[in-house]
Amino acid sequence: MAAPLRAIIADDHALFRQGLKSMLRLEPSIRVVAEVERVADLAPALARTPCDVLLLDLQMDRNALAQIQGLARRVRVVVVTASEQPSEALAAMRGGARAVVFKRFALETLMDAVRAVMDGHVWMPPELQAEVAAQMGQSGGESLSSREQEIVRAVALGLRNAEVARRLSISEATVKTHLNKVFQKLKIRDRTELVRYAIRIGLVSVNEKIP
Protein backbone atom coordinates (compact mmCIF):
# COMPACT_ATOMS: atom_id res chain seq x y z
CA MET A 1 0.00 0.00 0.00
CA ALA A 2 1.38 3.41 -0.99
CA ALA A 3 2.28 5.87 1.73
CA PRO A 4 -0.29 8.64 2.18
CA LEU A 5 0.37 12.01 0.58
CA ARG A 6 1.71 14.59 3.01
CA ALA A 7 -0.24 17.88 3.00
CA ILE A 8 0.19 21.28 4.61
CA ILE A 9 -2.88 23.49 5.04
CA ALA A 10 -2.28 27.25 4.79
CA ASP A 11 -5.35 29.29 5.75
CA ASP A 12 -5.89 32.17 8.17
CA HIS A 13 -9.31 30.90 9.29
CA ALA A 14 -8.87 28.47 12.17
CA LEU A 15 -12.36 26.98 11.80
CA PHE A 16 -11.77 26.19 8.12
CA ARG A 17 -8.36 24.64 8.85
CA GLN A 18 -9.81 22.50 11.61
CA GLY A 19 -12.80 21.47 9.50
CA LEU A 20 -10.66 20.57 6.49
CA LYS A 21 -8.20 18.66 8.66
CA SER A 22 -11.06 16.70 10.23
CA MET A 23 -12.46 15.80 6.81
CA LEU A 24 -9.05 14.79 5.47
CA ARG A 25 -8.67 12.35 8.38
CA LEU A 26 -11.36 10.32 6.62
CA GLU A 27 -9.11 10.01 3.55
CA PRO A 28 -6.47 7.29 4.04
CA SER A 29 -4.56 8.50 0.96
CA ILE A 30 -3.62 11.87 2.49
CA ARG A 31 -2.23 13.03 5.82
CA VAL A 32 -2.01 16.60 7.14
CA VAL A 33 1.52 17.08 8.47
CA ALA A 34 1.34 20.80 9.32
CA GLU A 35 -0.87 23.88 9.19
CA VAL A 36 -0.03 27.59 9.04
CA GLU A 37 -2.08 30.76 9.32
CA ARG A 38 0.36 33.30 7.85
CA VAL A 39 2.18 33.43 4.52
CA ALA A 40 5.36 34.32 6.39
CA ASP A 41 5.22 30.93 8.13
CA LEU A 42 5.08 28.90 4.91
CA ALA A 43 8.79 28.78 4.06
CA PRO A 44 9.82 27.72 7.60
CA ALA A 45 7.04 25.10 7.65
CA LEU A 46 8.18 23.63 4.33
CA ALA A 47 11.81 23.63 5.52
CA ARG A 48 11.10 21.64 8.66
CA THR A 49 8.21 19.50 7.37
CA PRO A 50 8.61 17.79 3.98
CA CYS A 51 5.31 17.52 2.17
CA ASP A 52 3.85 16.61 -1.22
CA VAL A 53 1.07 19.15 -1.59
CA LEU A 54 0.26 22.59 -0.18
CA LEU A 55 -3.41 23.52 0.21
CA LEU A 56 -3.19 27.32 0.03
CA ASP A 57 -5.89 29.92 0.61
CA LEU A 58 -5.29 32.93 -1.67
CA GLN A 59 -7.17 35.25 0.69
CA MET A 60 -5.04 34.50 3.76
CA ASP A 61 -2.66 37.35 2.98
CA ARG A 62 -2.20 39.98 0.29
CA ASN A 63 1.19 38.39 -0.49
CA ALA A 64 -0.12 34.84 -0.94
CA LEU A 65 -0.42 35.16 -4.71
CA ALA A 66 3.06 36.66 -5.03
CA GLN A 67 4.53 33.76 -3.08
CA ILE A 68 3.15 30.98 -5.29
CA GLN A 69 5.99 30.94 -7.80
CA GLY A 70 8.62 30.39 -5.11
CA LEU A 71 6.49 27.82 -3.32
CA ALA A 72 5.74 25.90 -6.53
CA ARG A 73 9.44 25.14 -6.94
CA ARG A 74 9.33 23.19 -3.67
CA VAL A 75 5.89 21.61 -3.53
CA ARG A 76 2.74 21.14 -5.61
CA VAL A 77 0.40 24.04 -4.85
CA VAL A 78 -3.37 23.56 -4.81
CA VAL A 79 -5.21 26.84 -4.30
CA VAL A 80 -8.33 26.45 -2.13
CA THR A 81 -10.29 29.69 -2.30
CA ALA A 82 -13.65 31.31 -1.67
CA SER A 83 -13.03 33.72 -4.54
CA GLU A 84 -14.37 32.62 -7.90
CA GLN A 85 -12.81 35.47 -9.88
CA PRO A 86 -11.26 34.12 -13.12
CA SER A 87 -8.54 36.78 -12.95
CA GLU A 88 -7.32 35.49 -9.58
CA ALA A 89 -7.41 31.87 -10.70
CA LEU A 90 -5.51 32.72 -13.88
CA ALA A 91 -2.89 34.64 -11.91
CA ALA A 92 -2.48 31.70 -9.52
CA MET A 93 -2.03 29.21 -12.38
CA ARG A 94 0.43 31.49 -14.12
CA GLY A 95 2.30 31.78 -10.85
CA GLY A 96 2.76 28.03 -10.61
CA ALA A 97 -0.33 26.64 -8.86
CA ARG A 98 -1.33 23.23 -10.19
CA ALA A 99 -5.01 23.48 -9.27
CA VAL A 100 -7.74 25.89 -8.15
CA VAL A 101 -10.58 24.52 -6.01
CA PHE A 102 -13.48 26.55 -4.62
CA LYS A 103 -14.19 26.25 -0.91
CA ARG A 104 -17.84 25.54 -1.59
CA PHE A 105 -16.90 22.24 -3.25
CA ALA A 106 -17.10 18.87 -1.52
CA LEU A 107 -14.05 17.05 -0.20
CA GLU A 108 -14.33 14.57 -3.07
CA THR A 109 -13.66 17.38 -5.56
CA LEU A 110 -10.64 18.58 -3.62
CA MET A 111 -9.25 15.04 -3.60
CA ASP A 112 -9.83 14.78 -7.36
CA ALA A 113 -7.74 17.93 -7.77
CA VAL A 114 -4.99 16.64 -5.45
CA ARG A 115 -4.80 13.32 -7.32
CA ALA A 116 -4.65 15.15 -10.65
CA VAL A 117 -1.71 17.33 -9.63
CA MET A 118 0.13 14.38 -8.11
CA ASP A 119 -0.25 12.61 -11.48
CA GLY A 120 1.40 15.60 -13.16
CA HIS A 121 -1.76 17.30 -14.43
CA VAL A 122 -3.45 20.59 -13.64
CA TRP A 123 -7.03 20.96 -12.39
CA MET A 124 -9.61 23.74 -12.55
CA PRO A 125 -13.41 23.77 -12.15
CA PRO A 126 -15.04 23.41 -15.57
CA GLU A 127 -17.05 26.62 -15.17
CA LEU A 128 -13.94 28.55 -14.21
CA GLN A 129 -12.02 27.02 -17.08
CA ALA A 130 -14.68 28.30 -19.50
CA GLU A 131 -14.54 31.79 -18.01
CA VAL A 132 -10.76 31.88 -18.12
CA ALA A 133 -10.74 30.75 -21.73
CA ALA A 134 -13.29 33.46 -22.59
CA GLN A 135 -11.23 36.04 -20.72
CA MET A 136 -8.18 35.05 -22.73
CA GLY A 137 -10.29 35.50 -25.84
CA GLN A 138 -8.86 32.29 -27.25
CA SER A 139 -6.18 34.59 -28.67
CA GLY A 140 -3.22 32.56 -27.49
CA GLY A 141 -3.74 29.82 -30.05
CA GLU A 142 -3.48 32.18 -33.01
CA SER A 143 0.32 32.26 -32.80
CA LEU A 144 0.52 28.49 -33.32
CA SER A 145 0.08 26.60 -36.55
CA SER A 146 -2.58 23.91 -36.78
CA ARG A 147 0.11 21.21 -36.51
CA GLU A 148 1.60 22.89 -33.45
CA GLN A 149 -1.85 23.07 -31.86
CA GLU A 150 -2.35 19.34 -32.54
CA ILE A 151 0.94 18.56 -30.81
CA VAL A 152 0.22 20.87 -27.87
CA ARG A 153 -3.18 19.23 -27.41
CA ALA A 154 -1.65 15.74 -27.48
CA VAL A 155 1.07 16.66 -24.98
CA ALA A 156 -1.50 18.33 -22.71
CA LEU A 157 -3.47 15.07 -22.70
CA GLY A 158 -0.40 13.31 -21.34
CA LEU A 159 1.10 11.67 -24.43
CA ARG A 160 4.86 11.24 -24.68
CA ASN A 161 6.74 12.43 -27.76
CA ALA A 162 6.89 8.94 -29.25
CA GLU A 163 3.14 8.49 -28.73
CA VAL A 164 2.43 11.87 -30.32
CA ALA A 165 4.58 10.89 -33.30
CA ARG A 166 2.69 7.63 -33.82
CA ARG A 167 -0.68 9.33 -33.46
CA LEU A 168 0.15 12.06 -35.99
CA SER A 169 2.18 9.80 -38.31
CA ILE A 170 5.30 11.92 -38.05
CA SER A 171 8.77 11.25 -36.64
CA GLU A 172 9.65 11.76 -33.00
CA ALA A 173 12.36 14.20 -34.12
CA THR A 174 9.69 16.28 -35.87
CA VAL A 175 7.62 16.35 -32.67
CA LYS A 176 10.64 17.59 -30.73
CA THR A 177 11.32 20.28 -33.35
CA HIS A 178 7.71 21.49 -33.19
CA LEU A 179 7.76 21.53 -29.38
CA ASN A 180 10.97 23.52 -29.28
CA LYS A 181 9.38 26.10 -31.59
CA VAL A 182 6.24 26.18 -29.44
CA PHE A 183 8.28 26.75 -26.27
CA GLN A 184 10.10 29.63 -27.99
CA LYS A 185 6.90 31.19 -29.34
CA LEU A 186 5.05 31.00 -26.04
CA LYS A 187 8.10 31.73 -23.89
CA ILE A 188 7.43 28.75 -21.65
CA ARG A 189 9.94 26.34 -20.16
CA ASP A 190 8.39 22.91 -19.74
CA ARG A 191 5.46 20.60 -20.40
CA THR A 192 3.66 21.58 -17.20
CA GLU A 193 3.44 25.19 -18.37
CA LEU A 194 2.34 23.91 -21.78
CA VAL A 195 -0.57 22.05 -20.14
CA ARG A 196 -1.65 25.23 -18.34
CA TYR A 197 -1.48 27.12 -21.63
CA ALA A 198 -3.57 24.49 -23.44
CA ILE A 199 -6.26 24.68 -20.75
CA ARG A 200 -6.27 28.48 -20.70
CA ILE A 201 -6.91 28.77 -24.45
CA GLY A 202 -9.38 25.88 -24.57
CA LEU A 203 -7.32 23.32 -26.52
CA VAL A 204 -8.17 20.74 -23.84
CA SER A 205 -10.65 20.45 -21.00
CA VAL A 206 -9.37 20.08 -17.45
CA ASN A 207 -10.78 16.56 -16.96
CA GLU A 208 -10.53 15.43 -20.58
CA LYS A 209 -9.23 11.93 -21.19
CA ILE A 210 -7.10 10.67 -24.09
CA PRO A 211 -9.53 9.61 -26.83
Residue-by-residue DSSP string for 162-195: HHHHHHHTS-HHHHHHHHHHHHHHHT--SHHHHH
* Residue range 70-87, pLDDT digits in tens: 888 889 999 999 988 887
pTM, 2 dp: 0.67
- Of residues 180 and 69, the one with the higher pLDDT is 180
At 129 the pLDDT is 67
Give the model's pLDDT for residue 116.
84
**119 vs 46, residue with greater confidence:** 46
List pLDDT tens digits, range 39-50: 889 889 999 999
Q: Alpha-carbon distance 180 to 188, whole Å?
A: 10
- Domains in the chain, ordered, with CATH? 5-134 (3.40.50.2300), 138-200 (1.10.10.10)
Please state whether 61 falls in left (phi above 0), alpha (psi between -120 and 50) or beta: beta
Residue 211: pLDDT band (50, 70, 90) is low
Whether 209 has a pLDDT exceeding 70, the answer reads no
What is the rounded average pLDDT of the residues 119-135? Answer: 70
- Tens of pLDDT along 142-161? 467 878 888 988 888 888 99
